[in-house]
Amino acid sequence: MLVDKIKFHPVFYSNSNNNQTDIAIQLAVVLYRLGSNASLWTIATLFGKFHKGFENFGFPMVIGAIDGSHIPLMEAPSKINKDIYISCKHQYTIHLQAIVDHKGHFTCYEIGWPASVHNTKVFKYSYIYKNNNLFIKDKDYLLNDSAYPLLPWIITPFKNPQGSNIQ
């Protein structure tokens, strides 16, 4: 009944080439969000918003891609051990680990680790790692590079065996 009352509102129509999500689903998402204290991540997972985008790229059940990067700093941080903020490119940086959706939008992130800290350590201490049961449902997966561990909810690329001629 609510969908019938709102379906002709201009907010549900655009000139974009991208189709909008069905109005009934949009309404369900709004009502769920207003009636609960669930996070946006939980709601997006519950309503399959993350899956749909990655399925279009041939990755069913994938809800995000995770990786680390460095954010350059103009000068040394005001910390005692400044050297731990120097990256392999000899620049002061802080570490950023992020999960992005199929459009590259951040859905979760950790920021502020020193440049010298490896992706694996940032990941091990991250909120997503410690609380993956809140984010990862059923057979959901995250894509990542070989710097990350292979876990039931993490897909890593095949690693090149030592001594292999595989390029």
Question: What's the rounded Cα separation, in Å, for the pair 107 and 22?
Answer: 22
CB atoms under 10 Å from CB of 5, counted, come to 9
- pTM, entire model: 0.71
Per-residue pLDDT tens for 74-131?
888 888 888 898 888 889 999 999 999 888 888 889 998 999 898 899 999 999 899 8
In-domain check, residue 106: yes
Per-residue pLDDT tens for 4-16?
999 998 888 877 7
In-domain check, residue 34: no
In-domain check, residue 17: no
Nearest CA to 28 among 51, 52, 6? 6
Residue 93 C-beta-side C-alpha neighbours within 13 Å = 18
pLDDT at 111: 92
In-domain check, residue 126: yes
In-domain check, residue 115: yes
| pLDDT-based confidence at residue 162 (cuts at 50, 70, 90) | low
Q: Please give the tally of structural domains in the chain.
A: 1
In-domain check, residue 133: yes
- What are the angstrom distances between the C-alpha of 119 and each of 64, 125, 164? 17, 10, 25
In-domain check, residue 102: yes
**Amino acid occupying residue 42:** T
Q: What range defines the domain where residue 85 resides?
A: 60-155
Contact 21, 3 (CB under 8 A): no
DSSP 75: S
In-domain check, residue 161: no
Question: What's the rounded Cα separation, in Å, for the pair 21 and 25?
Answer: 7
